[in-house]
Structures are given as structure tokens and as C-alpha cells.
Structure 1
Amino acid sequence: MARFLIIGGFLAVVFWVFSIVDCTVQPAARHRGVSKGAWVAIVILIPVIGGILWFAIGRRRKDDSDARPYAPDDDSEFLRGINRKEQDARIRELEEELSKLEDDGDHPDPRP
């Protein structure tokens, strides 16, 4: 029984230190809820439970929903950068080229 308490205590201390280091190393933008200093205080003052709270609700993940849009249609900055007039002109040019190619292909081959 004493072995389990020693091993459990050792693992709790390792987890506590890891939580403190992770909380202090993360930039302030990756902290959810309260400020970075408050999270460090929570993790230090409430050793194991503070670490669990930090990893469960305090740490913002890279794949959070506000990271960036999934498709260009969802990105308003991308849509503002599109020049519709240039695109329409390019489409007209390509349609004219295509119609010229189709017209050239309609004539029979003059060779015997």
C-alpha cells in the first residue's frame, strides 16, 4: 500500500509541475476564461485539481473553431480581395477563344 502512495504522490507531483510549466509557457492568447496569471495561481494553489481544470477548460486548443475558416467562401477577407471585373473579363476572353476554336473545327479538312 505504501508503494502505491509513493508512486501516486510522485505522479501527482510530476503532473503538477507539468501543468505549471505548460500554463506558464503558453501565450496569453491560448488561455480561456481568466487571465494567464489567474490560471498559474489556480494551478499552483490547487495542485492536481488545478492542473486538471487547466487541461480541461483553460487551455485553448489549436483546432478551436475560431482558428480560421475551412473554405475560401467562409473567409470574408479572401472574398473582399477577389476582383470580379477581372474575373469576368478573363472568362469572356476564354469563351471567345473557345468559340474561335470550335468555329475552326467545323470546316472539313481541305486535303484529299
Structure 2
Amino acid sequence: MGSLISLAFFAMLIAVLIDIILIDESRIKNLGKVTWIFVVIFLPLIGTILWFAIGREYAPANNFGSFGAPQRHEALRQLETSNTEAELAKLDAEIEYFEKQEKIRELEEKLRHRKQLP
């Protein structure tokens, strides 16, 4: 059990160090990147807690309901919009076709009616 806790603590320490190394310099607060690395190495538990509490600036959450690259989602939205517009155009053309067919039937009916009058 003790070795499992030690392994978890070591994994957390490595994860924090990787986070410090990979984070953009503009998102680090209070100390420099190298100083935070030394704090976490020399004071592992306290340094880790301090890093997450006061050391890094968290980016605002964009959208938790989506996965993948935002460019892909934008492309899908544009594709859906173009598909929707294409479907609407087809429906409009179909409505126009049936309206013309109805108009033709009405005119044919009037023509038949006129032929029967004399």
C-alpha cells in the first residue's frame, strides 16, 4: 500500500514538472519557470500544491461539450450550414415545381371548360 502511494506521489510530481516545463511563460504567476521547478523539486508536496494554487494561470474554458480541434468543428458547422442551405434550395425548387404543376392543371381545366361551352 505504501509503495502504491509513493508511486502515485512520484507520478504527480512528474506530471507537475512536465506541466511547468510545457506551460507558456505568460501563464506562470508569481515566480519564474526555473524557480517553480526548484520549488517543486525541493518541496515536492508543498511545491505541487502551491503550483496549482498560485503558480499557474488557468485558461478560460471554451466549450466542454465538444471534442477535437476547433477548426474541425467550425468546418463541420459550415458543412452543416451548406447542407442545410442546399436542402432548403432543393425544397424550394420542389415546391416551385409542384406549384407550376398545379397551375398547369388549373389552366388545362379552364381550357377544357372553354371547349365545352359552345
For normalisation by structure 1, the TM-score amounts to: 0.51
Structure 1 position 48, deviation (Å): 2.0
Larger Rg over CA atoms: 2
Quote the sequence identity (%).
28
Q: Which residue, 3, 7, 16 being the options, matches 1:6?
A: 3
Task: Give the corresponding residue for 1:34.
Answer: 31
- Equivalent position amino acid for 1:58 in 2: G
The structure whose residues are more often helix, as a share, is 2
CA distance in 1, matches of 2:4, 2:15: 16
CA distance in 2, matches of 1:16, 1:8: 12
Structure 1 position 51, deviation (Å): 1.1
1:62 aligns with 2:53: no
CA displacement, residues 64-110 of structure 1 (integer Å, 9 cap, x when unaligned) = xxxxxxxxxxxxxxxxxxxxxxxxxxxxxxxxxxxxxxxxxxxxxxx
Matches within 5 A, 1:1-112: 3=1, 5-63=2-60
Aligned length: 60
CA distance in 2, matches of 1:58, 1:21: 14
Displaced runs of 4 or more, over 2 A: none
CA distance in 2, matches of 1:60, 1:7: 30
Structure 1 position 6, deviation (Å): 1.1
Q: Is the 8 A contact 1:15 1:48 kept in 2?
A: no
**Any unmatched runs of 5+ in structure 2?**
61-118
CA distance in 1, matches of 2:55, 2:38: 12
Q: Is the 8 A contact 1:44 1:50 kept in 2?
A: yes
**Any unmatched runs of 5+ in structure 1?**
64-112
